[in-house]
Amino acid sequence: MILREGFPTYGGLAGRDLEAAAVGLMEALEEEYQEYRHATIKYIARGFDAIGIPYVRPVGGHAAFVDAKAMLPHIESLQYPGIGLVNALYVEGGIRCVELGSVMFGSFDAAGNEQPSLLELVRLAFPRRVYTQSHFDYILEVMESVWRNRDQIAGYRITYQPKFLRHFSCKFAALD
């Protein structure tokens, strides 16, 4: 039971999960590992530069943030360019990422009118010990294909949203 399910006193984590977390914490303290992590993310940034993808500079140690608003200027903020880009990346290459823009950080004024976020970003996060060099090359190939066809990416409208934390479970429909 300890190996597979864990005890409630472990926070519901199995022994293997606790061991993986411990290894991750120890690796995070190794300078060589941090250099490798940052070199990997910088590789993505150089690839974005070569393609022309707009992104937030400098890239972080765990992710790259694509500027969906700059990449898709034909989509207004309240037509959610980040959702358009997230969907295009998934359809084109199965790449999963997250919108960090008006869906997640938009707000509503006193009259109930939606106010867009200042930024419309898409986060490509890179968990440790998951991706190989060929994965990063594949991401860049897909990004280049999406970039070439970016004028065909549609905006979206929300068809359903809960009152709280809408970015977790709202539903969308593509605009014509």
Dump pLDDT digits (tens) for 34-81.
Answer: 888 889 899 999 999 999 999 999 998 889 999 999 999 999 999 999
Structural domain that includes position 101: 12-174
In our burial notation (b when 16+ CB lie closer than 10 A, e otherwise), range 56-87 reads: beebeeebbbbbbbebbeebebbbbbbbbbbb
What is the overall mean pLDDT for the chain?
90
Tell me the pTM: 0.85
What pLDDT band is residue 143 in, cutting at 50, 70 and 90? very high
Residue 159 forms part of a structural domain: yes
**Number of separate domains in the chain:** 1
Q: Which CATH number do you get for residue 135?
A: 3.90.1150.10
Indicate whether 132 pLDDT > 70. Answer: yes
Q: Specify if 109 maps to a domain.
A: yes
Give a yes or no: residue 2 inside a domain. Answer: no
Task: Flag whether pLDDT at 104 surpasses 60.
Answer: yes
Residue 18 falls inside a structural domain: yes
